[in-house]
Chain A
Amino acid sequence: MSGLAIQMAYVVAAALFIFGLKLLGSPASARRGNLLSAVGMLLAVVAALLDQGIVEYQWILLGFAVGGVIGAAAARLVQMTSMPEMVALFNGFGGMASLLVGAAALGTSTATFTLVTIVLSILIGGLTFTGSLVAWGKLSEKIGSGAIMFSGQKIVNSLIVLAILASAVMFCLQPENLNWLFLLIALSLLFGVMAVIPIGGADMPVVISLLNSYSGLAACAAGFAVNNNILIVAGALVGAAGIILTQIMCKAMNRSLSNVLFSGFGSVKTTATVIEGEIKPISSDDAFYVLEAATNVAIIPGYGMAVAQAQHAVKELCELLENNGAEVNFGIHPVAGRMPGHMNVLLAEADVPYDQLLEMDDINPRMENVDVAIVIGANDVVNPAAREVESSPIYGMPVIDVASARTVFVLKRSMASGFAGIENPLFYKDNTRMLFGDAKETINALIREFS
């Protein structure tokens, strides 16, 4: 195949990626969009294989076989509740692949521009790889999910950045000395670890989307290094996607990106707020009587629902309520869970129709007409302190206004505070009742009352 035909195939592949992303804009066409994007990828791969420069296929086929089997197995076996971990891990592999491509491109050219792009693909790829591994470890609780801070952290990190700059310059000056390359790789890997360990679990949606963006940028930089248009286009698309999601997540938490990256929630001093009122627990049979009389119910899921794997039970309860004549809606906060849109996926798995899932801005005006708001394992995203208490660390963060519903049921395992580690005045309000216990068991108890 001639060079021109290959380039044309890349152009078509890029168009398919773009069109595929466009179709992802609506749930009805999204599946077709994903398929289209996959066809684009296949086309790009076939075009690359037909390149005249390719003389040895055995290495490529070996790589495909190993990677394809692992990827397919992981995609089939993963539980929907573990999706954040898996996306984090995949991001990391993408970053590592870009690092390797960058490193292997050394020797193809010694032009300064190429060397700079090699540095970039190694740097971004390396930090994406180890950063994603740390995020994966935190999400799957292989390591503590809290923020890891130590004294002198800023100094250590500044030194690493300086060392990266220095070795990058030396690498560009002496590309034939491989020691600079190895030093650069080691430093970029170290930097990824240092960048993610001080970020706590509650900020993971931001971290995951940021790393997603980085994996795109790494592919983009690798594209510059090997002079390949399709890598640049596709990488830039992914980079843009990640940046936008990151921005949405930051807005949903009313924090700036630098705020998330350079300080954990944990470092904010928590002034002891005096909360008036008392906790009022309720039993599931009493809760049932209230629910039976309700005509408008709103369910607000959080990470607790994911942990308890309660989504199927929630769907069953939802159906019973609807059969009983109630209108049921779900209020989804953008940062509920551990990745953007996490709750939507879990509820979709349980067959909850997507037009029943309302975003925060749509459900808040309706809250006054809601008879019962059921909060399932969500803490910070319903915390009225964000509106009322100026000294609260989450003051200013937009929250779902469950307190204006007539009655609020909070499903919770214990009185422990949420991920952000802040007291929640909601639990002490007059119209709030606490349903203690595992979310799945509590909901199943309610379902038994109905039937």
Chain B
Amino acid sequence: MEPVYLTFILMLSIFVGFELITKVPATLHTPLMSGANAISGVTVVGAISLAGTGQQDLANWLGAAAVALASINVVGGYMVTDRMLAMFKKKGA
């Protein structure tokens, strides 16, 4: 049952994603991309659960490395997106 349930979630998320992103104007495509990139750093959640279980050494190491790489993505991605978006201004604003 579990695989079916997860696939169901996957399918719905893809539809939501398509709906949302087709509405983003060309002006915002670069921030969209770096923002989406930051979201893909959500792997950090998976990495956390593996790094802290206190089981084998190898899993710990891999988990810690994954946490580090994914945090670069998350922290860097959100910060740089914010920096870009702060520059977009309306005329006269």
**Which chain A residues border B91 with CB–CB below 8 Å?**
353, 355-356
A240 touches B33 (CB 8 A): no
Chain A positions 220-240 with a Cβ under 8 Å from a chain B Cβ: 220, 222-240
User: Given contacts A72-B76, A341-B28, is CB(A113)–CB(B66) below 8 Å?
Assistant: no
User: Given contacts A44-B45, A356-B91, is CB(A345)–CB(B70) below 8 Å?
Assistant: no
Q: Which residue in B10, B32, B87 is a CB contact (below 8 Å) of A24?
A: B32
A18 to B32, CA, bound (A): 13
User: Given contacts A228-B49, A245-B33, is CB(A38)–CB(B38) below 8 Å?
Assistant: yes
A279 CB to nearest chain B CB (Å): 32
Determine if A91 is an interface residue (Cβ-Cβ < 8 Å).
yes
A54 touches B52 (CB 8 A): yes
A327 to B90, CA, bound (A): 16
Query: Would you call the interface of chain A mostly helix, strand, loop, or mixed?
Result: helix
**Which chain B residues border A49 with CB–CB below 8 Å?**
48, 52
**Which chain B residues border A105 with CB–CB below 8 Å?**
46, 50
Instruction: Give the size of the chain A interface in residues (CB under 8 angstroms).
Output: 112
Determine if A78 is an interface residue (Cβ-Cβ < 8 Å).
yes
Q: Which residue in B22, B28, B44 is a CB contact (below 8 Å) of A97?
A: B44
A242 to B58, CA, bound (A): 33
> Could you say which of A56, A71, A357 has the most chain B C-beta atoms within 10 Å of its C-beta?
A71
B30 CB to nearest chain A CB (Å): 4
B30 touches A216 (CB 8 A): no
A96 touches B69 (CB 8 A): yes
A94 touches B40 (CB 8 A): yes
Q: Mark B38-68, 1 if CB is under 8 A from A, else 0.
A: 1111111111111111101011111111111
**Which chain B residues border A272 with CB–CB below 8 Å?**
none
**Which chain B residues border A76 with CB–CB below 8 Å?**
79, 83
Q: Mark A3-25, 1 if CB is under 8 A from B, else 0.
A: 00000000000000110111011
User: Given contacts A21-B20, A78-B80, A97-B47, is CB(A62)–CB(B35) below 8 Å?
Assistant: no
A31 to B86, CA, bound (A): 7
A353 touches B68 (CB 8 A): no
A25 CB to nearest chain B CB (Å): 5
B90 touches A245 (CB 8 A): no
A72 touches B79 (CB 8 A): yes
Interface 9-mer from A82-90, A148-156, A366-374: A82-90
A41 touches B43 (CB 8 A): no
A87 touches B89 (CB 8 A): no
**Which chain B residues border A232 with CB–CB below 8 Å?**
6, 9-10, 13
A9 to B3, CA, bound (A): 21
Chain A positions 195-249 with a Cβ under 8 Å from a chain B Cβ: 208-209, 212, 215-216, 218-220, 222-245, 248
Q: In this complex, what residue of A is CB-closest to B47?
A: A101
A386 to B85, CA, bound (A): 34
A54 touches B42 (CB 8 A): no
B68 touches A67 (CB 8 A): yes
Q: In this complex, what residue of B is CB-closest to A341?
A: B29
A93 touches B72 (CB 8 A): yes
A21 to B74, CA, bound (A): 15
Determine if A275 is an interface residue (Cβ-Cβ < 8 Å).
no
User: Given contacts A231-B42, A232-B10, is CB(A349)–CB(B87) below 8 Å?
Assistant: yes
Q: In this complex, what residue of B is CB-closest to A349?
A: B87
A348 touches B87 (CB 8 A): yes
Determine if A103 is an interface residue (Cβ-Cβ < 8 Å).
yes
A356 to B91, CA, bound (A): 8
A313 to B84, CA, bound (A): 19
User: Given contacts A72-B75, A100-B65, is CB(A234)–CB(B42) below 8 Å?
Assistant: yes
Determine if A320 is an interface residue (Cβ-Cβ < 8 Å).
no
A75 touches B79 (CB 8 A): yes
B51 touches A244 (CB 8 A): no
A340 touches B43 (CB 8 A): no
A237 touches B47 (CB 8 A): no
Q: Which residue in B32, B49, B54, B76 is a CB contact (below 8 Å) of A75?
A: B76
A24 touches B44 (CB 8 A): no
Q: In this complex, what residue of B is CB-closest to A35?
A: B82
**Which chain B residues border A90 with CB–CB below 8 Å?**
34, 37, 72-73, 76-77
Q: In this complex, what residue of A is CB-closest to B77?
A: A90
**Which chain B residues border A47 with CB–CB below 8 Å?**
45
User: Given contacts A27-B27, A86-B80, is CB(A63)–CB(B36) below 8 Å?
Assistant: no
Excluding A55-B54, A344-B30, 14 further A-B contacts by CB distance (< 8 Å) are A34-B78, A56-B52, A63-B71, A66-B68, A83-B30, A104-B50, A218-B43, A220-B10, A226-B49, A232-B13, A238-B17, A240-B21, A344-B29, A355-B91
Could you write out 15 A-B pairs with CB less than 8 Å apart? Answer: A30-B31, A38-B38, A41-B38, A63-B71, A71-B79, A74-B76, A87-B37, A97-B70, A98-B46, A237-B16, A238-B40, A341-B27, A344-B30, A353-B93, A354-B89
- Interface residues of chain B, those whose CB is within 8 Å of chain A, are 2-3, 6, 9-10, 13-14, 16-18, 20-54, 56, 58-93
